[in-house]
Chain A
Amino acid sequence: MDAYKLMKELRVNYEQEAHYRPKETGLRLIESTTEGDSRISAKGRNAKVEDLWSLTSFFGYSTQTFVLAVNLLDRFLAMIKVQPKHLSCVSVSCLHMAAKVTEEECDLSPADELIRIGQCRFTTSDLCRMEKIVGEKLGFKSNAVTALTFLHLYHQIALSHSTDRKESLSLEKLEAQLKACLCRISFSKAKPSVLALSLLRQEMEAVQSEDMLEIAYHIQRHLKITDGELLLWSERVAPCLSDYASPECSKPNHRKLQWIVSRRTAQNLHSYRTVPELPTIPEGCWDESESEDLCEDVMSSGEESLSSSLGSDAEGPFFPLHLRRQKHLHA
């Protein structure tokens, strides 16, 4: 696609994006909710989105599916008060819906597999019902304009302008960064076009390409995005990306996961704990070396027992006092 057509498409999407944004008031409400309330909190939503990402990755779905699923989820949560216990059902149905429109038939996993792997407590029929509800409320037909749409367009534009620098802007990396941002509810408040542009700029600054930044500026002017808005979101995106890229590991919260094993394996898991112990016999320091020579003699019934030779016990004045005392420890 040539640059002109791309720009035109960009414009079209920009005009439509407002239609697919979650209600800001709804999002704020979630952000302000504290833990343990009867409403869903930001932490709860973020954790669920991370789970969605795990499922997406596991089933081999594309980033498009994930982004769409998060979009649906946020729009629904911002619109309707959902109880925390239903959050799991809502999120998985969003994922399923997104997968159905994005993925190919052959790559689609059945709903019951999704539920089993996700260790969900609801049934397939629950899932179907929830999908219908979400679809109705959101008027969802087939697709949505998301930050990913813009990211792809921007990337193509950048490519078309500088063909010799094909390798420097990795779409995969941008997608991964977008995914990291979407795991935090605050970024759902941003305009998708602005969020995508912030990500683009960050990456361009990282590779230190002046030409690229020119292109980004060009896009910004084309879409009439204000400097202030762009700066605001760039500042928020930067720490998120640096967290994502840091080599530090976060302690996984695996207590949430169920580890189901077969009966036979479960039986044998901690069999070692039942090994009965005889009391420990400490190794003596002064008897062992002597005993080595004692084994030289072949035993015969007439001979006196070998252990009676000198030095094998602490008897008599031959041994110093402290060693004699040791004898009683073994009694």
Chain B
Amino acid sequence: MNVPGQPPFVTFVPRQPTDCSISIALCIKMSAISASEKVDGFTRKSMRKAQKQRKSQGSSQYRTQSAPVELSPLPQLKDAPSTEQQELFTQKLQQCCMLFDFLDSVMDLKSKEIKRATLNELVDYVSTNRGVLVESTYPEITNMICTNIFRTLPPSDNPDFDPEEDEPTLEASWPHIQLVYEFLLRFLENPDFQPSIAKRHIDQKFVLQLLELFDSEDPRERDFLKTILHRIYGKFLGLRAFIRKQINNIFLRFIYETEHFNAIMSIINIHDYLVHVVCLSFCTVICLMRSCCFSVCSIINGFALPLKAEHKQFLMKVLIPLHTAKGLALFHAQLAYCVVQFLEKDPTLTEPVIRGLLKFWPKTCSQKEVMFLGEIEEILDVIEPTQFKKIQEPLFKQISKCVANPHFQVAERALYFWNNEYILSLIEENIDKVLPIMFGSLYRISKEHWNPTIVALVYNVLKTLMEMNCTLFDELTSSYKAERQREKKKEQERDELWKKLDELRLSSAALVQNNSHGLPSVQNNNNNNNNNNSSNNNDNQDTRAEAAAVPTDNKVPDAGVAASESTPCAK
């Protein structure tokens, strides 16, 4: 697979993924970009695409097959007598363990169709019948599932895949794989399903392999995986802590490690117990985040009170720092939902959460700022009044900065808080603290903001605040105006001082000319600073030798008292 002249492209692929003692998928991908461009980090997409080698679409999974194998159709399950159904069921399951190469669209068409029909039948069989899940069937079922879905995913064609913009790469064998997922779900949801039997096969290894599949670029697959993970979490109590730990690690890895432009290799050390090596490219982790957050929501909602320390850690050390991720836009809605759920469970977490968000408040990315504001509104919607009092001051300080933000969307989103009835009632209760913080910014932008929509919204906000407590409002208005007056006065005084100094300069220039007859003047000798300036000292100096001692830097008097003091000497 090496192309001469290009850096090596190496892939290690285990032959039978399910056989591994430790599930490892190790992938080192070095991008085919020259070293100089790498340093730059902003290589143009077009150049990258041009340089990229177009790999052949073969898959290692099917290399072991020597000759095409044909499936022989088995009789229908519904037609079989009840005594034989068990055996037939097992046979069909075993038949479905045969894998087909969908990348070759003409190969084995008949067999593929037989498998597809069989899978369909199996899905129905497990959904509609009772007494089907006998103990002996469990290993067959899980084996079929493992064989079909646990595979090494092909490396991404497009390392900068943007889930929102680009078309996803769909799984080629979806016609079969979809049915296998469907089957797995029905299996888990079957009323006769016994976790105690199934747990021998659906174990930590199974879960790990399942989590790896979240890397898939096919959104349909991820959707299935999300639901499956949810069901497994629900039914297998013994796996819950493990699943939480894995999700924890995925998030942590994402926060602290995946900020590169090119593909990434990362090695994780989990709590000294487990060593797990995974390769995640930046883009697919986003999808993983989204799916994970969906599952996590339902888990959080089920937490018992009082919340365990482990869960609080998860919130503060994982979910909150997750807000700093570069791709936040793609999963922010879900993340915010998780945070709000935590706060609904335990309102005492409000203060640390808000302080955490304020700490990570975006400083240069306006899009993120708008998202954060949305999240704050969601939190305020559920906040308890006592908790509100604790964070109102730092929070409104940030909000007052946001309303004055020149990016109109940020200002708009912040001002829109005043359209929320519950937030208004909170502000009303604490108007004496909130109004002084907000007033200055609001008043200032009513005069200065460039965007007319913002100005109109500011009017609404000011009017609302005025109606809440007009006395306080009037007081603040008059003190604000007094402050403005004071500042204006200071400015005027400053201007006048400069004018005066300008006049001094003119007068002392004139004086030097007159003084050139007499004694050397001691103007500005008491100034040590070398304010330098004029080279217009010349004419007078040359003609009068006695005046040669006159220092030349007295043409422009320094600002300050010294200048005015020295001028009398000149006279």
Closest to B300 in A: A280
Q: Does residue A249 face the partner (Cβ distance < 8 Å to B)?
A: yes
A291:B241 contact, CB within 8 angstroms: yes
A331:B191 contact, CB within 8 angstroms: yes
Q: Does residue B199 face the partner (Cβ distance < 8 Å to A)?
A: yes
Q: Contacts A262-B409, A287-B238, A307-B239 known; A272 to B431 CB distance under 8 Å? A: no
Q: Contacts A261-B457, A278-B294 known; A330 to B237 CB distance under 8 Å? A: yes
Q: Which B residues from 235 to 267 make CB contacts under 8 A with A? A: 235-242, 245
Q: Does residue B299 face the partner (Cβ distance < 8 Å to A)?
A: yes
B297:A278 contact, CB within 8 angstroms: yes
Measured between C-beta atoms, what is the minimum distance from A265 to chain B in Å?
Answer: 5
B193:A250 contact, CB within 8 angstroms: no
Q: Does residue A106 face the partner (Cβ distance < 8 Å to B)?
A: no
> What does the 1/0 interface line of A253-297 toward B look like (CB < 8 Å)?
110011111101100110110111111111111011011101110
A301 contacts across to B, CB distance below 8 A = 19-21, 205
Q: Does residue A247 face the partner (Cβ distance < 8 Å to B)?
A: yes
Tell which of A176, A285, A295, A307 touches B245, judged by Cβ atoms closer than 8 Å.
A295
B463 contacts across to A, CB distance below 8 A = 54, 58, 252, 254, 257
> What does the 1/0 interface line of B453-468 toward A look like (CB < 8 Å)?
1011101101110111
A276 contacts across to B, CB distance below 8 A = 294
Closest to A179 in B: B474
B233:A294 contact, CB within 8 angstroms: no
Q: Report the bound CA distance from A229 to B350 in whole Å.
A: 58
B242:A283 contact, CB within 8 angstroms: no
Q: Does residue B35 face the partner (Cβ distance < 8 Å to A)?
A: no
Tell which of B22, B227, B301, B409 touches A280, judged by Cβ atoms closer than 8 Å.
B301
A244 contacts across to B, CB distance below 8 A = 470-471
Q: Report the bound CA distance from A57 to B459 in whole Å.
A: 10
Q: Report the bound CA distance from A313 to B191 in whole Å.
A: 17
Q: Report the bound CA distance from A307 to B302 in whole Å.
A: 21
Closest to A245 in B: B471
B237:A331 contact, CB within 8 angstroms: no
Tell which of A172, A264, A283 touches B304, judged by Cβ atoms closer than 8 Å.
A283
Q: Report the bound CA distance from A179 to B470 in whole Å.
A: 11
Q: Report the bound CA distance from A315 to B195 in whole Å.
A: 10
B298:A287 contact, CB within 8 angstroms: no
Q: Contacts A281-B233, A315-B196 known; A261 to B453 CB distance under 8 Å? A: yes
Q: Does residue B11 face the partner (Cβ distance < 8 Å to A)?
A: no
Q: Does residue B507 face the partner (Cβ distance < 8 Å to A)?
A: no
Tell which of A119, A275, A295, A308 touches B242, judged by Cβ atoms closer than 8 Å.
A295
B408:A262 contact, CB within 8 angstroms: yes
B467:A279 contact, CB within 8 angstroms: no
B304 contacts across to A, CB distance below 8 A = 282-283, 285
B298:A280 contact, CB within 8 angstroms: yes
B196:A176 contact, CB within 8 angstroms: no
Q: Report the bound CA distance from A280 to B234 in whole Å.
A: 9
Tell which of A119, A262, A281 touches B412, judged by Cβ atoms closer than 8 Å.
A262
Measured between C-beta atoms, what is the minimum distance from B360 to chain A in Å?
Answer: 19
Majority secondary structure, B binding face: helix
A283:B303 contact, CB within 8 angstroms: yes
A259:B238 contact, CB within 8 angstroms: no
B205 contacts across to A, CB distance below 8 A = 299, 301
A257:B235 contact, CB within 8 angstroms: no
Q: Contacts A249-B428, A291-B241, A294-B242 known; A330 to B471 CB distance under 8 Å? A: no
A309 contacts across to B, CB distance below 8 A = 238
B374:A268 contact, CB within 8 angstroms: yes
Q: Report the bound CA distance from A48 to B200 in whole Å.
A: 76
Q: Does residue A305 face the partner (Cβ distance < 8 Å to B)?
A: yes
Query: Which of B340, B419, B453, B459 has its CB near the most chain A CB atoms (within 10 A)?
Result: B459
Q: Which of B214-222, B329-337, B386-394 contacts A (4 or more CB under 8 A)?
A: B329-337
A260:B199 contact, CB within 8 angstroms: no
Measured between C-beta atoms, what is the minimum distance from B383 to chain A in Å?
Answer: 15
Tell which of B233, B424, B432, B477 touches A252, judged by Cβ atoms closer than 8 Å.
B424
Measured between C-beta atoms, what is the minimum distance from B387 to chain A in Å?
Answer: 20
Q: Does residue A161 face the partner (Cβ distance < 8 Å to B)?
A: no
Q: Does residue B452 face the partner (Cβ distance < 8 Å to A)?
A: yes
Interface extent on A, as a size class?
A: 35 or more
B464:A306 contact, CB within 8 angstroms: no
B374 contacts across to A, CB distance below 8 A = 268-269, 271-272
Q: Does residue B230 face the partner (Cβ distance < 8 Å to A)?
A: yes
Tell which of B21, B191, B199, B412 touches A305, judged by Cβ atoms closer than 8 Å.
B199
A53 contacts across to B, CB distance below 8 A = 466
B446:A308 contact, CB within 8 angstroms: no
Q: Does residue B274 face the partner (Cβ distance < 8 Å to A)?
A: yes
Q: Report the bound CA distance from A317 to B414 in whole Å.
A: 60
A272:B337 contact, CB within 8 angstroms: yes
Tell which of A176, A253, A291 touches B467, judged by Cβ atoms closer than 8 Å.
A253
Measured between C-beta atoms, what is the minimum distance from B294 to chain A in Å?
Answer: 6
Q: Does residue B44 face the partner (Cβ distance < 8 Å to A)?
A: no
A213 contacts across to B, CB distance below 8 A = none
A278:B418 contact, CB within 8 angstroms: no
A281:B419 contact, CB within 8 angstroms: no
Q: Does residue A312 face the partner (Cβ distance < 8 Å to B)?
A: yes
A312 contacts across to B, CB distance below 8 A = 199, 237-238
Q: Does residue B378 face the partner (Cβ distance < 8 Å to A)?
A: yes
A179 contacts across to B, CB distance below 8 A = 474
Q: Report the bound CA distance from A6 to B287 in whole Å.
A: 80
B230:A281 contact, CB within 8 angstroms: yes
Q: Does residue A304 face the partner (Cβ distance < 8 Å to B)?
A: yes
B242 contacts across to A, CB distance below 8 A = 291, 294-295
Q: Report the bound CA distance from A212 to B534 in whole Å.
A: 63
B470:A262 contact, CB within 8 angstroms: no
Q: Report the bound CA distance from A296 to B334 in whole Å.
A: 32
Q: Report the bound CA distance from A278 to B234 in whole Å.
A: 11
Query: Which of A275, A280, A283, A290 has its CB near the most chain B CB atoms (within 10 A)?
Result: A283
A252:B467 contact, CB within 8 angstroms: yes
Query: Which of A253, A274, A299 has its CB near the most chain B CB atoms (within 10 A)?
Result: A299
Measured between C-beta atoms, what is the minimum distance from B342 to chain A in Å?
Answer: 13
Query: Which of A119, A244, A276, A306 has its CB near the most chain B CB atoms (within 10 A)?
Result: A306
A281 contacts across to B, CB distance below 8 A = 230, 233-234, 298-299, 301-302
Measured between C-beta atoms, what is the minimum distance from B146 to chain A in Å?
Answer: 11
Q: Contacts A249-B431, A277-B297 known; A307 to B199 CB distance under 8 Å? A: yes
Q: Report the bound CA distance from A262 to B407 in whole Å.
A: 12
Closest to A300 in B: B21
A292 contacts across to B, CB distance below 8 A = 241
A264 contacts across to B, CB distance below 8 A = 409
A278:B230 contact, CB within 8 angstroms: yes
Q: Report the bound CA distance from A57 to B447 in whole Å.
A: 12
Q: Does residue B129 face the partner (Cβ distance < 8 Å to A)?
A: no
Measured between C-beta atoms, what is the minimum distance from B247 to chain A in Å?
Answer: 13
Q: Does residue A298 face the partner (Cβ distance < 8 Å to B)?
A: yes
B460:A300 contact, CB within 8 angstroms: no
Q: Report the bound CA distance from A167 to B20 in whole Å.
A: 88
Closest to A290 in B: B238
Q: Does residue A117 face the partner (Cβ distance < 8 Å to B)?
A: yes
Measured between C-beta atoms, what is the minimum distance from A91 to chain B in Å?
Answer: 15
A250:B468 contact, CB within 8 angstroms: yes
> What does the 1/0 interface line of B200-213 toward A look like (CB < 8 Å)?
11011100100000
Closest to B192 in A: A331
Measured between C-beta atoms, what is the minimum distance from B279 to chain A in Å?
Answer: 20
Q: Report the bound CA distance from A116 to B453 in whole Å.
A: 10
Further contacts, 17 of them, CB under 8 A, given A268-B374, A279-B298, A299-B205? A254-B419, A262-B453, A265-B413, A272-B333, A272-B337, A281-B302, A283-B304, A288-B240, A291-B241, A294-B241, A304-B200, A305-B201, A305-B203, A305-B204, A312-B237, A330-B235, A331-B235
A-B residue pairs in contact (CB < 8 Å), sample of 9: A257-B460, A259-B457, A265-B412, A268-B370, A278-B297, A288-B240, A294-B241, A294-B242, A307-B204
Closest 9 A-B residue pairs measured CB to CB? Answer: A307-B238, A305-B203, A312-B238, A252-B467, A287-B237, A291-B241, A278-B298, A280-B301, A282-B302
